[in-house]
């Protein structure tokens, strides 16, 4: 699968290529145009010099002019003939430049050297001005290069300016992305569009509409679960009462007693499931909750251990506590209690007879840490991403459970801003559930 390129990189790459292509085209065009203009200028120079030479006084000699040091090859060759073709003057007699036969510009080669020649003829005399082609080409190339220097400097400068503009434009998109990323999962307020570019406001509006529809669907689902669980409590309570009455009526010696006991256990499991559904619906709702307060964590842990000690004894499980601190945390007492109960209950249920469940409480630099370690089968790594889903069970179906315990624990942890993580133990088989609490404000 091909990797996707970010919008920022795409714009930068596109503009870089565009500037390079436009700069190259402009530089070539400027080079050619500057060369043509230089040629026209040099031809005009030849005409102008011929005009001035035409008006020179009698007896003028070019060899009497004292010029500053310079390259002799850069000099113009100036020649004059009288009306019958007799040479009158030549600025460089060593060059055997032939006399032109008509007024105008021409290209002449003398002794292997190319010349550009302008000849002016009238009835009294002929004036001819010549310039080496090599000199003209060097001067034209120099003029052309000078014309391309500003373009070569403007390309990187333009790239820097455009890069800054792109950064400003993409920065507005980054701010919108940060606004979305910083929202809580239960946030209902729409994403503001005032600071967003006009081009992406339709996208933001569509996202707001989608979020509202999803929130509505989730709220409807939660209401259904809560209403269904609430409506089931009464008939299940009635069924449980009737089963108890039936058991009392037939006595333990009846041949129907084992079947009645199974019915009684099934009724208890159904009642527990309904209670868990109601608790989960309450934790996942956005309704008002109790006031958060400073909580001594150790007493809550001890209470939970005492509640589950009979179940651990019944299953021959060693349930213990290790603690080297008595930390304070911040949250809702009842929700923290439910969080601890579900983790300890889950550990006991999935630990085989004769195993151990250890609750470890310590105080870390970032805040209090509580771990629940068991010696059960652990969770397959492939199932780890789904362990907090409702009704998902990663272990054998023979182990009694509804698949809601970890979902409830996760919901309670999120409501109290506690980080809940699960990991298989590295030293042996088993699971380690870790709670990272936030310390109370001001500590």
Helices (H), 251-328: 257-284, 297-314
Beta pairing, strands 113-121 & 125-132: antiparallel
Give the Cα separation of 127 and 216 in Å (integer): 98
Closest to 370 in 3D by CA, of 382, 381, 361: 361
Give the Cα separation of 6 and 408 in Å (integer): 39
Assigned token pair, 59: 């007896």
Q: At CA 118, angle to CA 37 and CA 98, rounded to 5? A: 140
Q: Is the pTM of this model over 0.85?
A: no
Assigned token pair, 34: 């500057």
10-152 CATH fold: Beta-Lactamase (3.30.450)
Contacts of 220 (CB under 8 A, 6+ apart): none
DSSP assignment string, 157-215? HHHHHHHHHHHHHHHHHHHHHHHHHTS-TT--SPPP-TTS-GGGHHHHHHHHHHHHHHH
Give the Cα separation of 273 and 263 in Å (integer): 15
What is the CATH number that goes with domain 293-436?
3.30.565.10
Q: Which residues pair with 117 in a beta bridge?
A: 106, 130
**DSSP 8-state secondary structure symbol assigned to residue 2:** P
pLDDT of residue 208: 80
Per-domain residue ranges of the chain? 10-152, 198-284, 293-436
Determine the length of the chain: 443
Domain 198-284 has CATH 1.10.1040.50: no
pLDDT of residue 369: 93
Give the Cα separation of 276 and 410 in Å (integer): 13
* CB atoms near residue 32 (< 10 Å): 12
pLDDT of residue 269: 66
Assigned token pair, 299: 């007493």
* CB atoms near residue 189 (< 10 Å): 8
3-state secondary structure of 311: helix
For the chain, the first-to-last Cα distance in angstroms comes to 50
pLDDT of residue 44: 82
Assigned token pair, 286: 């956005």
pLDDT of residue 90: 83
> Tens place of pLDDT for every residue, the chain, 443 residues?
444 556 677 777 887 888 788 878 887 887 788 778 778 888 888 887 877 775 555 655 555 554 455 455 667 888 888 888 888 888 888 888 999 888 899 989 988 889 889 999 888 888 888 988 888 888 788 877 777 788 778 778 888 887 788 777 777 777 777 767 666 655 567 777 776 677 777 877 887 888 778 777 766 666 666 666 556 666 767 777 777 777 777 776 667 777 777 777 677 666 666 666 666 666 666 555 567 788 899 999 999 999 899 989 988 999 999 988 888 898 888 889 888 988 998 899 889 999 999 999 998 888 899 999 999 998 888 888 888 887 777 665 455 556 677 888 888 888 888 999 999 999 999 999 999 998 776 66
pLDDT of residue 301: 93
CA distances from 326 to 71, 297, 301, 362 (A): 96, 7, 11, 8
pLDDT of residue 436: 93
pLDDT of residue 55: 58
3-state secondary structure of 419: strand
Closest to 193 in 3D by CA, of 182, 179, 181: 179
Which helix (H) or strand (E) segment is 358 a member of?
Answer: strand 356-364
pLDDT of residue 305: 93
Residue 356 main-chain phi, psi, to 5 deg = -130, 145
* CB atoms near residue 29 (< 10 Å): 13
CB 349 within 8 A of CB 272: no
Assigned token pair, 22: 């436009």
Give the Cα separation of 292 and 330 in Å (integer): 6
């Amino acid at each position: 699968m091909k990797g996707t390129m970010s919008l920022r990189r795409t714009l930068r790459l596109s503009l870089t290529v565009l500037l390079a292509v436009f700069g190259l085209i402009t530089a070539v065009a400027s080079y050619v145009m500057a060369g043509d203009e230089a040629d026209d200028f040099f031809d005009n120079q030849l005409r102008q010099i011929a005009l001035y030479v035409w008006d020179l006084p009698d007896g003028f000699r070019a060899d009497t002019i004292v010029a500053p040091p310079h390259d002799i090859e850069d000099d113009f060759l100036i020649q004059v003939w009288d009306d019958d073709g007799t040479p009158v003057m030549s600025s460089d007699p060593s060059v055997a430049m032939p006399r032109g036969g008509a007024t105008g510009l021409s290209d002449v080669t003398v002794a292997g050297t190319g010349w550009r020649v302008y000849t002016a003829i009238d009835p009294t005399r002929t004036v001819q001005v010549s310039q080496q082609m090599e000199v003209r080409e060097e001067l034209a190339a120099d003029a052309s290069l000078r014309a391309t220097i500003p373009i070569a400097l403007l390309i990187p400068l333009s790239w820097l300016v455009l890069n800054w503009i792109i950064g400003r434009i993409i920065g507005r998109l980054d701010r919108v992305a940060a606004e979305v990323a910083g929202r809580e999962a239960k946030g209902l307020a729409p994403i503001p569009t005032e600071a967003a570019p006009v081009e992406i406001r339709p996208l933001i509006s569509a996202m707001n509409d989608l979020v509202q529809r999803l929130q509505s669907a989730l709220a409807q689902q939660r209401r259904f679960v809560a209403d269904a669980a609430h409506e089931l409590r009464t008939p299940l309570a009635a069924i449980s009462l009737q089963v108890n009455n039936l058991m009392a009526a037939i006595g333990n010696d009846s041949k129907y007693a084992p079947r009645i006991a199974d019915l009684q256990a099934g009724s208890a499991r159904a009642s527990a499931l309904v209670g868990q559904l109601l608790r989960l619906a309450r934790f996942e709702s956005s309704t008002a909750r109790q006031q958060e307060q400073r909580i001594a964590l150790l007493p809550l842990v001890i209470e939970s251990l005492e509640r589950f000690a009979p179940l651990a004894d019944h299953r021959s499980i060693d349930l213990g506590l290790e603690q080297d601190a008595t930390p304070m945390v911040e949250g809702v007492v009842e929700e923290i209690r439910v969080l601890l109960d579900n983790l300890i209950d889950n550990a006991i249920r999935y630990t085989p007879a004769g195993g151990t469940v250890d609750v470890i409480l310590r105080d870390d630099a970032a805040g209090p840490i509580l771990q629940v370690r068991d010696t059960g089968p652990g969770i397959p790594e492939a199932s780890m991403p789904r362990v907090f889903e409702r009704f998902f069970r990663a272990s054998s179906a023979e182990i009694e459970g509804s698949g809601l315990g970890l979902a409830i624990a996760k919901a309670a942890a999120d409501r109290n801003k506690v980080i809940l993580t699960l990991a298989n133990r590295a030293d042996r088989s088993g699971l380690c559930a870790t709670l990272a609490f936030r310390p109370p404000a001001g500590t």
